[in-house]
Amino acid sequence: MRVIVFGADGYLGWPTSLHLSARGHDVIAADNLIRRRWDVLCGTESLVPIASMKRRVERWKALTGREIKWEKLDLTSLADTTALITQYQLEAVVHFAEQRSAPYSMISAQHAVETQVNNVVGTLNLLFALRESAPDCHLVKLGTMGEYGTPNIDIEEGFIDIEHNGRKDRLPFPKQPGSFYHLSKVHDSHNIMFTCRVWGIRATDLNQGVVYGTGIPETDMHGQLRTRFDYDDIWGTVLNRFCSQAAIGYPLTVYGEGGQTRGFLDIRDTVRCVELAMLNAPERGEFRVFNQFTEQFSVRELAERIKAARAHHGLETSIEHLPNPRTELEAHYYNAKHQHLLDLGLVPHKLEDSLIDRVIGLVERYKKRIRPELFVPRVDWRRGGTGDFGKPSARRRRVAVAPGIR
């Protein structure tokens, strides 16, 4: 299949591009490289050094003989997006190209607006471009389990059967997003569902849990093929943070009581889920929702697992509870369905099989690059950013951009 991966420079976009290329798909990798500029503005960086997109695609071709075509593109430009879609005869589009950090979206009004413009406008432009130039193309869009929030009922896969006043209907599952970032994803889902109904777009919304892992077999082939690994307070995930803290003897910082429960999956399962969705396209006009995760853990459970893994090697690790900077329930019911991708053939990796050899091993290799000051949460959901956000230094100011402008 010929497929464009939007957001191909990201943590998930780059491994997905390699995974699809390795399996014989004709891949076009597109990105506007804004993620690297956000690192500069936030004073953050990947624990693992990452190569430029130009070097990445060159190295991939040198090692495998397969070509990934690299296109620099900003989805907030409708004209450029339409031109790129028109250029290729596509069977599928994989859409990762969004600002994906909840803390970043909560820093200030500027960051909230930037997040929503980048994500909502970019997705709308892509939908219009598909309608005009590739109406039969299958859109595989990365959503988030965070759209649902933590309701006191089981979370279904996208839709729920309702009986009210003697009448029945099948309706979208209620949304309770927890940040301006998650809100942008809800808006995306509504816009995609609407265009499927009125234009006949075919789309799969992958509501993904928290991803962990250092990469996939293809990214392990060479240092220039590695994907990023974020552990800081803005871009890092909780498991990455815990592994990085343990590597340098820093306490594992649990926000609040640690009862917050979420769905998790290995990055190797992420790329497989995307391909499974892509290979099993919906009908014209059909909007599908798959819940994309494999296991559920609380934050406290993850901390205890990291502590136990370190103790297995004779290393002591402590756990410290911090005031929770987020507005969320400390303890709650959480039971989400995730059957559709298993039915399509997903064979999940388990956290216990991946944690020590892959995640902890890579962090140990690069632990001299860990900056402990990036563990401290700088964003409070109630007050916004508490660090030097929006006021870049003279060195950073050269790459600063106005919200929503790329």
**CA distances for 313 relative to 141, 245, 301, 356, angstroms:** 40, 16, 19, 10
Q: Which residue has the tokens 């909560």?
A: 106
Distance CA 198, CA 271 (A): 30
Give the length of the chain. Answer: 406
Catalytic residue among 185, 214, 227, 253: 185
How many CB atoms within 10 Å of residue 366?
16
Instruction: Check if 76 is active-site.
Output: no
Instruction: Check if 181 is active-site.
Output: yes
Alpha helix locations (H) across 238-378?
A: 238-247, 267-279, 299-312, 340-343, 351-354, 361-365
H/E element, 206:
strand 202-208
Distance CA 114, CA 141 (A): 20
Instruction: Check if 185 is active-site.
Output: yes
Contact 30, 84 (CB under 8 A): yes
- For residue 50, what are its two tokens? 């990452």
Catalytic residue among 144, 204, 219, 270: 144
Catalytic residue among 181, 212, 231, 334: 181
Q: Which residues are catalytic?
A: 144, 181, 185
